[in-house]
């Protein structure tokens, strides 16, 4: 089981590209976590393991090209190895959606990145869908609905 407390996408320059908090955090806490984790994670060498202990919980991260995907997970029950797979599944989904995703795609289309994430993780950060096909199908249908709404408006 994995319960994700938060997911941060941090660029190699230490800029936050996306953040999602599954639970109530004060804005001070959020800023602190972002700042501390970007320093810690960026300072780690490639050969080091992708798991670290932070505050009272664990953090699992993985680097894809210029972006670090950083997940805070509850310490006791969460499976660290599976967290890496969840991150990977999310990246795969984005990769298919954007057709070879890059950092710029996520910067300019952050709402799409959020929408995809919402189909993978729900409520307190539990996984709700494991099939990449299903995830993409849902997001695509919702996009289609938007376009048709747009069309309706133009026609009327």
Binding footprint of other proteins on the chain (CB under 8 A): 1-2, 16-25, 27, 30-31, 34, 45, 47-52, 77, 79-82, 84-86, 89, 107-108, 110-111, 114-115, 118, 122-124, 126-134, 138, 141-142, 145-146, 149-150, 153
CA 78 to chain centre: 17
Of 65 and 104, the one with the shorter C-beta distance to other proteins is 104
| Angstrom distance (rounded) from CA 23 to CA 2 | 15
Of 48 and 155, the one with the shorter C-beta distance to other proteins is 48
What are the helix (H) ranges across 44-131? 80-97, 103-108, 110-120
Query: Smallest distance from the beta carbon of 56 to other proteins, in angstroms?
Result: 16
Query: Smallest distance from the beta carbon of 3 to other proteins, in angstroms?
Result: 10
Strand partners, 72: 6, 59
Query: Smallest distance from the beta carbon of 127 to other proteins, in angstroms?
Result: 5
Of 96 and 118, the one with the shorter C-beta distance to other proteins is 118
129 and 156 Cβ atoms separated by less than 8 Å? no
Q: Which two tokens stand for residue 91?
A: 């990246």
Query: Smallest distance from the beta carbon of 27 to other proteins, in angstroms?
Result: 7
Of 65 and 81, the one with the shorter C-beta distance to other proteins is 81
**Strand, coil or helix: what is 137?**
helix
Of 32 and 65, the one with the shorter C-beta distance to other proteins is 32
Query: Smallest distance from the beta carbon of 95 to other proteins, in angstroms?
Result: 15
Contacts with 50 (C-beta within 8 Å, 6 or more apart), sequence order = 60, 61, 62, 84
CA 8 to chain centre: 6
């Amino acid at each position: 089981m994995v319960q994700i407390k938060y997911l941060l996408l941090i660029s190699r320059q230490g800029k936050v590209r996306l953040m999602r908090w599954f639970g109530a955090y004060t804005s001070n806490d959020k800023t602190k976590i972002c700042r501390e984790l970007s320093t810690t994670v960026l300072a780690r060498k490639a050969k080091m393991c992708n798991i670290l202990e932070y505050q009272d919980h664990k953090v699992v991260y993985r680097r894809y090209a210029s972006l670090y995907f950083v997940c805070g997970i509850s310490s006791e029950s969460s499976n660290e190895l599976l967290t890496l797979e969840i991150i990977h599944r999310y990246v795969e989904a984005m990769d298919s959606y954007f057709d070879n995703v890059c950092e710029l795609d996520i910067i300019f289309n952050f709402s799409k990145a959020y929408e995809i994430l919402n189909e993978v993780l729900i409520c307190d950060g539990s996984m709700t869908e494991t099939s990449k096909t299903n995830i993409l199908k849902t997001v695509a249908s919702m996009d289609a609905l938007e376009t048709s709404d747009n069309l309706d408006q133009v026609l009327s």
